[in-house]
């Protein structure tokens, strides 16, 4: 029987969740749901020095906002709890001991000064990549070079030590990456990584492998930056005797800056003028100690479905012309085989375009609620039937990218003009136009048909009686009613405002604008 597909997203609580991390979580989620499997989240907090208060809660809220549902996590529990590595600390030493007993790991007692001296020697010898490895370990203080009784004495006396992996000197390490194909690395390029630190906490490498095995992970989908670590992880699976259940690896392409000059970093967003985090993050500057605020997509007015659709296409494509997907459609279409090896360039204009499409596709009933919320936040009182709000939302949505734009475009319905487009007035406003609009204003309150079509018919009738062509007055009429020279359909605007309000606005403009 085939194993149940199980994937994991394993962030560290060291700060806000970068959109690259959200994309990793998304691809894991899409694969799990596509194959009928489970998605779990594990907090990898073995490096307590980098722990940032609030980061774990930020991760939780970010994934919830994005609609990425977790089957197992620190917050929902599961059969493999606990899901924080710091809470799993007591179990890791037994696995490190297993490697020690089998000869695949060793104790290293080197002091920081001795390690610095090693690096200095290697640098002076022009070694391109100074490492503690199968060659240099013979020069250092470890259980491979010291007599057994001295090692025992050091351990018994509580001398600080780390446990390192004993990487073979001449061996090829191979694995088949689902995105990149076969990856082959010679063991001479792999250093003897620390597995257990002097504080008794495991490093990422040991804890990651042990937890993925115990949590029965079948696929490890993670960023390209972890590709150099993969051969080391393959060795660990082999030395533990877990090769038959080793997960399949897939290393995702990098996210590049908009100009393609390098990896999109956490610092790039505010510098380049767009968010790189799903939610706003309140932190502290490491150098100055001053509070900082980094912008987020949610607070910027982006819809989660637009954000997710955009992220999905940063490194993957469905092989069709379709660009707009619901989450379920992404699940149905997603395959690892269609994830690119090439880096994906971030395009802020594209995510804005996605937001426009999703916003405009929403029903007017929902847009009306967005509009009402925005108006209330701006202190604009609304005394209007719900169906009128829906009409307004439907009329202005084609000019909106964000929900806040709805209120800006709809402001003309709630406040009379305080100024008028001078360019239009200078060209289009004259005594004949003012006279024609005055007559139109007089006729409006008794209009029998106040639909957009009825108002246009009434305007045409009044102007014909005055010997004025409708084209002579339309832009001036718009300015009189709205104050602006452009905007949504004018007849619909007047229909929503109603005949009395429209007439009073025209009369106000005629009284204020010079002929």
Q: Among all residues, which ones are annotated catalytic? A: 266
- Other CB atoms within 10 Å distance of the CB of residue 53: 9
Q: Which residues are CB-neighbours of 149 under 8 A, at least 6 positions away?
A: none
Q: Report in angstroms the alpha-carbon separations of 256 from 262, 268, 285.
A: 5, 10, 24
Torsions phi, psi for 436 (to 5 deg): -65, -40
Q: Residue 479: which H helix or E strand, with range?
A: helix 470-482
Distance from first CA to last CA of the chain, Å, rounded?
Answer: 87
For 320, the token pair is 């069709």
Q: What is the 3-state secondary structure (H, E, C) of 137-203?
A: HHHCCECCCCCHHHHHHHHHCCCCCEEEECCCCCCEEEEEECCCEEEEEEHHHCCCCEEECCCCCEC
Question: Are the beta carbons of 278 and 22 closer than 8 angstroms?
Answer: yes
What's the gap between Cα 91 and its chain centre?
Answer: 34
Q: Which residues are CB-neighbours of 87 under 8 A, at least 6 positions away?
A: none
For 227, the token pair is 């590709």
For 316, the token pair is 């993957």
| 420 dihedral zone (left: phi>0; alpha: psi -120 to 50; beta) | beta
Q: Which residue has the tokens 């319905």?
A: 413
Give the integer Cα–Cα distance in Å for 386 and 478: 25
Query: Three-class SS of residue 467?
Result: coil
Give the integer Cα–Cα distance in Å for 55 and 13: 5
């Amino acid at each position: 029987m085939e194993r149940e597909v199980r994937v994991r997203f394993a962030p560290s609580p060291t700060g806000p969740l970068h959109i690259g991390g959200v994309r990793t979580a998304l691809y894991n989620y899409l694969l799990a749901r596509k194959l009928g499997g489970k998605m779990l989240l594990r907090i990898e907090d073995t490096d307590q020095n980098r722990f940032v208060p609030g980061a774990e809660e930020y991760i939780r809220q970010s994934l919830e906002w994005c609609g990425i549902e977790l089957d197992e996590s620190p917050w929902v529990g599961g059969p493999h709890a606990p899901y924080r590595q710091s809470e799993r600390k007591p179990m890791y030493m037994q696995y490190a001991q297993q490697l020690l007993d089998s000869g695949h790991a060793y104790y290293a007692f080197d002091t920081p000064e001795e390690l610095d001296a090693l690096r200095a020697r290697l640098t002076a010898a022009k070694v391109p990549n100074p490492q503690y490895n199968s060659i240099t370990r013979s020069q250092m203080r470890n259980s491979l070079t010291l007599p057994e009784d001295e090692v025992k004495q050091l351990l018994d006396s509580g001398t600080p030590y780390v446990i390192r992996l004993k990487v073979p000197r001449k061996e090829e390490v191979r694995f088949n990456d689902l995105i990149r194909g076969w990856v082959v690395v010679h063991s001479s390029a792999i250093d003897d990584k620390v597995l257990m630190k002097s504080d008794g906490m495991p490093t990422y490498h040991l804890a990651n492998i042990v937890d993925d095995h115990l949590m029965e992970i079948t696929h490890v989908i993670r960023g390209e930056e972890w590709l150099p670590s993969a051969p080391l992880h393959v060795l660990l699976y082999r030395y533990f005797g877990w090769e038959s259940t080793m997960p399949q690896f897939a290393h995702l392409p990098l996210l590049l800056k908009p100009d393609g000059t390098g990896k999109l970093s956490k610092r790039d967003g505010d510098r380049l003028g767009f968010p790189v985090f799903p939610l706003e993050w309140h932190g502290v500057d490491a150098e100055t100690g001053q509070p900082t605020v980094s912008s987020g997509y949610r607070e910027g007015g982006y819809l989660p479905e637009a954000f997710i659709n955009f992220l999905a296409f940063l490194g993957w494509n469905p092989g069709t012309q379709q660009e707009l997907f619901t989450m379920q459609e992404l699940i149905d279409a997603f395959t690892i085989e269609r994830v690119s090896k090439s880096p994906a360039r971030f395009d802020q204009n594209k995510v804005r375009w996605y937001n426009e499409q999703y916003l405009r596709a929403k029903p007017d009933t929902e847009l009306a609620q967005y509009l009402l919320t925005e108006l209330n936040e701006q202190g604009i009182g609304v005394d209007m039937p719900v169906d009128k709000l829906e009409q307004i939302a439907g009329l202005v949505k084609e000019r909106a990218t964000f929900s806040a734009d709805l209120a800006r475009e709809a402001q003309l319905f709630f406040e009379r003009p305080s100024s008028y487009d001078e360019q239009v007035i200078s060209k289009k406003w004259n005594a004949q136009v003012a006279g024609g609009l005055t007559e139109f204003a007089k006729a409006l309150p008794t209009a029998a048909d106040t639909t957009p079509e009825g108002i246009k018919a009434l305007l045409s009738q009044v102007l014909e009686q005055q010997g004025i062509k409708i084209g002579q007055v339309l832009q001036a009429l718009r300015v009189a009613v709205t104050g602006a020279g452009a905007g949504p359909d004018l007849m619909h605007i007047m229909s929503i405002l109603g005949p009395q309000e429209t007439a009073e606005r025209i009369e106000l403009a005629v009284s204020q604008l010079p002929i």
